[in-house]
Amino acid sequence: MVHVRRTGRAADRGSATVWVVVGMAVLCVVAGAVLAMGQATVARHRAGGAADLAALAAADHWAGGPADACARAERVARAQGARVVRCQMTGEVSDVTAAAEFGPFGTEVRSRAGPTAHPAFQPGRSPSPDSSQPGASPARPAFEDDAGGRQGVRGGAP
């Protein structure tokens, strides 16, 4: 049997098919990674929105006691497609952690809400049981995100 050695273009015959298959596989992996990051982002935003709204709802119902305020926070979070992991009231300040899942991804986000003049909203401070001052707050609660940045004011212009 004689073995014929190909040279030039004849040796490359069929190699384009292999490169196309490899390129398509790489594109599929990249597309899957982008979709997964999108699902994780949706879960994070869903949990963040639910935590913010639940904290505002709890702070708005603080006068009914912690049980009533946290029950309201749970209803609001459930309506947003999330669940309350932790709810704590310190005077008029609510501290709510909400969790949400989207696809295989889940995340938890913590949010606080209460009157803007409350000591818990001073930079670098966290709420403590002795920091509540009943009756010394304006009627415009604000809320903060995990990083402590003020996100908005409820009830009118700042």
Nearest one of 46, 37, 48 to 109, comparing CA atoms: 48
Q: 91-112 pLDDT, tens per residue? A: 899 999 999 988 888 899 999 9
What would the DSSP string read from start to end of 101-119?
EETTEEEEEEEEEEETTSG
With tokens 């606080």, the residue in question is 112
Structural domain spans, the chain: 31-153
Q: What is the helix (H) or strand (E) element at residue 144, kind and residue range? A: strand 141-144
- Going edge to edge, which strands form the sheet with 83-90? 83-90, 93-102, 105-115, 141-144, 150-153
- Which segment of 58-67, 81-90, 146-155 scores lowest on mean pLDDT? 146-155
Contact 89, 146 (CB under 8 A): no
Segment 52-76 shows an average pLDDT of 93
Contact 110, 95 (CB under 8 A): yes
pTM exceeding 0.75: no
What pLDDT score was predicted for residue 128?
A: 52
Copy the structure tokens of residue 121. Answer: 């909203």
What pLDDT score was predicted for residue 10?
A: 65
How far is 92 from 64, CA to CA, in rounded Å? 11
